[in-house]
């Protein structure tokens, strides 16, 4: 099946393994594998959580004969490499891969796989701030759980994120720049909302953790409408699979566009109340309601009950029910000192002052 020997810097190998570790996550041990394959004169290492994939360039591959892609254990290689210094020699021969550094040697029998290649990156793309994208993606995914998704809608100047779980929905607008990957100048034209995808919760969290290690200011997001796949480019190449969202964003977008500030609450004070309400238990039912210029938080679980309030200038009447830890987690990522509140139709909307981040809950007190 061919053989090769390459040399790689130990620090580079450890950096790649650190990213691979975050791509795979720890939820499903069977996903914690490294796939080695050659492509276009380079040797790549691939890691995946079964939906989110990272492709990392390991070294040049200058040998005339390619080899069949193979897999080995991420955890074993990670443990062996953790304290290595200097240069690492990687030898592959007769179904055995050998890592050698100074006086230490690790040999592993490989598992062959049929095919592995980086697909051509689509031309359609948008450019976004890495810091802003990760922050918004964090808000959209922080309160949902396994089995839930983050819906992504890309239009010429915005990325919209929508997620919902346990009676709460998030809607986030993220500005972008259009770029055309060709010699012609100008922006790439595509229909608003022409690309949308729905990413699993687990992969969404892995994206955040992985890109936290990418030392870049901006990331490129390429997309392919046919296979619902999104390509995220930083220093490395990442892809994430998805399904077609079951809903379109128009109704939620229009709801948020009607936001008119009716109250302003100090975020730290509200979070303190929510944290205190957890004395009734993490899974206690929590109610927030207004009464005579006061915001009241009540929680109860079993034989334990808690009640607290904030005196504030609030002239709207509403009542919402939510798990306190979910609302507290989301408010913690709103990124503002104050939270604005508006009642629109049958819903209570919490917003950042920038009116780009919204949390939406049903109003139990409809007048």
Q: Which residues pair with 73 in a beta bridge?
A: 33
What are 342's two structure tokens? 């508006």
Report the Cα 191 to chain-centroid distance in Å. 25
Position 63 scores a pLDDT of 76
Which domains does the chain possess? 4-112 (3.10.150.10), 124-254 (3.10.150.10), 258-362 (3.10.150.10)
Which of 74-88, 188-202, 262-276 is predicted least confidently?
Answer: 188-202
What is the distance between the alpha carbons of residues 122 and 132, in angstroms, rounded to a whole number?
23
Does pTM top 0.85 for this prediction?
yes
Sign, CA dihedral 33-37-39-42, equals positive
Which of 14-28, 41-55, 287-301 is predicted least confidently?
Answer: 287-301
What are 130's two structure tokens? 């890495």
Give the CA angle between residues 83, 89, 94 to the nearest 5°.
120
- Please list, residue by residue across 260-292, b when 16 or more beta carbons sit within 10 angstroms of its beta carbon and e when fewer do: eebbebebeebbebbeebbebbeebebbbbbee
Sheet of 294-301, strands arranged across: 304-311, 294-301, 285-291, 319-323
pLDDT in tens, 159-181: 999 999 999 999 999 987 655 44
End-to-end CA distance of the chain: 74
- Helix, strand and coil content of the chain, in percent to the nearest 5, comes to 20, 45, 35
Position 366 scores a pLDDT of 55
Position 185 scores a pLDDT of 35
């Amino acid at each position: 099946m061919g053989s090769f020997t390459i040399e790689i810097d130990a620090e580079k190998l450890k950096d790649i393994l650190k990213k691979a570790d975050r791509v795979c996550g720890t939820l499903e041990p069977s996903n914690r594998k490294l796939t080695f394959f050659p492509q276009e004169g380079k040797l790549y290492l691939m890691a995946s959580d079964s939906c989110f994939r990272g492709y990392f360039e390991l070294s040049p591959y200058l040998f005339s004969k390619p080899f069949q892609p193979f897999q080995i254990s991420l955890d074993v290689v990670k443990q062996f490499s953790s304290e290595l210094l200097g240069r690492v020699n990687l030898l592959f021969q007769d179904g055995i891969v050998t890592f050698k550094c100074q006086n230490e040697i690790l040999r592993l029998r490989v598992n062959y796989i049929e095919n592995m290649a980086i697909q051509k990156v689509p031309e359609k793309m948008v450019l976004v701030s890495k810091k802003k994208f990760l922050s918004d993606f964090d808000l959209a995914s922080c309160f949902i759980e396994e089995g839930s998704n983050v819906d992504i809608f890309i239009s010429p100047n915005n990325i919209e994120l929508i997620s919902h779980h346990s009676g709460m929905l998030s809607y986030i607008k993220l500005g972008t720049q259009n770029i055309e990957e060709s010699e012609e100048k100008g922006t790439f034209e595509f229909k608003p909302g022409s690309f949308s995808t729905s990413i699993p919760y687990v992969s969404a969290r892995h994206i955040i953790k992985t890109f936290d290690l990418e030392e870049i200011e901006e990331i490129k997001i390429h997309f392919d409408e046919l296979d619902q796949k999104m390509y995220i480019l930083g220093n490395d190449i990442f892809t994430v699979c998805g399904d077609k969202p079951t809903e379109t964003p128009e109704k939620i977008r229009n709801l948020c566009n009607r936001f008119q500030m009716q109250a302003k609450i100090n975020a730290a004070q509200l979070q303190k109340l929510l944290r205190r309400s957890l004395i009734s238990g993490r899974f206690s039912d929590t109610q927030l309601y207004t009464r005579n210029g006061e915001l009241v938080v009540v929680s109860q679980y079993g034989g334990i009950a808690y009640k607290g309030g904030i005196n504030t200038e609030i002239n709207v009447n509403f009542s919402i029910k939510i798990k306190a830890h979910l609302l507290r987690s989301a408010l913690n990522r709103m990124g503002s000192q104050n939270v604005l509140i508006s009642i629109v139709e049958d819903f209570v909307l919490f917003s950042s002052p920038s009116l780009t981040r919204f949390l939406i809950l049903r109003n139990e007190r409809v007048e």
